Amino acid sequence: GAVVSQHPSWVICKSGTSVKIECRSLDFQATTMFWYRQFPKQSLMLMATSNEGSKATYEQGVEKDKFLINHASLTLSTLTVTSAHPEDSSFYICSAQAGDQPQHFGDGTRLSIL
């Protein structure tokens, strides 16, 4: 149980385009979803916390207009990187949580902006 699916796993696109990443909880209802960014050989940096039906809470230094988060249902959250540039290239990973249960992570999305 507690499976989280993240799609796509890898995306390469041109500078200036927008990229949408989906995070789905497959077998449970996620009251909260989290989005992290991970640079090579570094830790997971929390970007934002998303509760179903409400606006995401962004961590300090994360541009909310750059990283749009939508959590429209208890099983789906999306992260859209708008007008992506090479410095946005990174590994983005989501996690989902039901109530106060442990967070379960998706497989991550490797984003490369040319």
Partner 1 sequence: GENVEQHPSTLSVQEGDSAVIKCTYSDSASNYFPWYKQELGKRPQLIIDIRSNVGEKKDQRIAVTLNKTAKHFSLHITETQPEDSAVYFCAATNQAGTALIFGKGTTLSVSS
Contact set with partner 1 (CB under 8 A):
4, 32, 34, 41-46, 49, 57, 93, 100, 102-108
- State the greatest distance between any 2 C-alpha atoms of the chain, in Å, as a whole number: 40
Length of the chain: 114
Structural contact between residues 106 and 5, judged by C-beta atoms closer than 8 angstroms: yes
> Nearest approach, Cβ of 43 to partner 1 (angstroms)?
5
Comparison of 43 and 86: residue with beta carbon closer to partner 1: 43
Give the Cα separation of 70 and 7 in Å (integer).
Answer: 15
Comparison of 67 and 108: residue with beta carbon closer to partner 1: 108
Comparison of 15 and 42: residue with beta carbon closer to partner 1: 42
> Nearest approach, Cβ of 35 to partner 1 (angstroms)?
10
Give residue 8's identity as a one-letter amino acid code: P
